[in-house]
Chains A and B, each alone.
Chain A
Amino acid sequence: MSSDIVRSIIRFVVLILLQILVFRQINPSGSFFFYVSFIIYPLFILLLPFRTSPILLMLLAFVIGIIIDISYGSYGVHASAAVFIAFLRPTVLRVLEPRSGYNITQAPTKTHYGITWFISYSAVLMFAYLLWYFSVEAFTFVYFGQILLKTILSFLFSMLIIIVYMFIFDPKE
């Protein structure tokens, strides 16, 4: 088994545990925190190697999404958002491709392409994730203002944690 697969499996487990055991438990009372969710596990989808085929990407996203759903008791909501960004990932990567191109044996990390590139890459997909997630959670666009507010606030907090995560673990592959 090549090292990137092993790394991905470890990251898979670590991110699920972090999401369920740590970030799901952060639930401070107060009206402000009604709008904030800390979502970091999509990092697993973001950090899969370039050569992962689009279909495998979506299948893996579905699997991790369903596992998160089971712990959140929201069957299908996280999974659909995860599949959505897995579907978007190849397009986003193509748009953000640097002049020198990608090394397809690597993964899209900050080590290889810089912190600015990584933030813009993860910001696009995380925003897409959260917007989709809160839309499906509400299941109606009647309260679109609320959906947008939740998306923006959760986006800011989640991105903060994702960047901290990238600096702490600094994944190479």
Chain B
Amino acid sequence: MRNLILLLLRYGGFVVFLLLEAFCMFLVVRYNRTQQEIYVNSTNILSGALYERAANIRQFWNLREKADSIANVNAQLREEIELMKRAAALKAEKDSTYILPDSSRQYRYISARIIDNATNGNNNTLTLAKGSKDGIRPRQGVIDDRGLIGIVRDVSENYATVVSLLHRQIRINAANQRNNSIGVIAWRGNDPTIVKMEDVPKHINLIQGDTIVTSGYSPNRFPSGVMIGTIDTFWLQPGSNYYDIEVKLSNDLNTARYVYVIENSLIEEQEELEKEVADE
């Protein structure tokens, strides 16, 4: 305290000088237009660089939010494409003006972020950061931009678990895009980039590189034509009536970050009808 007083006695004049000048400068900038403009412009130049940096950092933190919103837009666009396709198909059939009813919007896409993923086990699952609140139900199909991901298993309010395509119990109806021959996709373990296609009878003509897509048949979790992969190798076991086909996935489940969950609004109707047939 004594030192402080000594300091003030010694430099008190300078402190008062600084205070008075600071007050004068405040008056100058506050009440003189020319000086005010110069002051504002100079501080803008100085702070401009600072603001830009801060904005860059903020943008970085906002990236996830932005990606979320872009994913949502993508989901909407997918629906629109689906709708257009159906409209085009109907128009081709009827060759007349056709107004599409709302009920024709069979597939809806819900974008979701993957928050947990594994590809190294025998029975892999994923977790999505969306749940029943967002319209996700068990047994819905999950895809991303590059191809198939899996099928929803359990749903809580905010989360959903997905049985990955790389799961030993998964079965997905698939078709060869070139000749519409159908089969079933399953995974046998080991290589996360290769799946098997089964139940393709030996009279079907196959070519290496044939594109395999979803067939859209029951259980109808996927619309037809979703890319799965291309035929890598195929062979016939002696005495077997069915091909052994290895399909190279178009998708890489290891690097997937955003997915679309497919909601089929007509699935209940279809399943009910098919159950009646089965019951007979």
Contacts and interface: CB of A to CB of B under 8 A. Distances in A.
A173 B25 CA distance: 33
Interface in B110-146: none
B16 A79 contact: no
Contacts of A65: 24
A136 B34 CA distance: 11
Contacts, number: 64
B26 A76 contact: yes
A139 B17 contact: no
A107 interface: no
Q: Is the interface of B mostly helix, strand, loop or mixed?
A: helix
Nearest to B42: A140
A83 interface: yes
B32 A74 contact: yes
Interface residues of A, number: 21
30 contacts: A54-B13, A54-B16, A55-B12, A55-B16, A58-B13, A58-B16, A58-B17, A58-B20, A59-B20, A62-B23, A62-B24, A69-B27, A75-B28, A76-B23, A76-B31, A76-B32, A77-B32, A79-B20, A80-B21, A80-B24, A80-B28, A83-B17, A84-B17, A87-B14, A136-B35, A137-B35, A139-B28, A139-B38, A140-B38, A140-B42
Interface pairs A-B: 10 shortest CB-CB: A76-B27, A80-B24, A76-B28, A75-B31, A54-B13, A139-B35, A87-B17, A76-B24, A83-B20, A139-B38
Interface of A: 54-55, 58-59, 62, 65, 69, 74-77, 79-80, 83-84, 87, 90, 136-137, 139-140
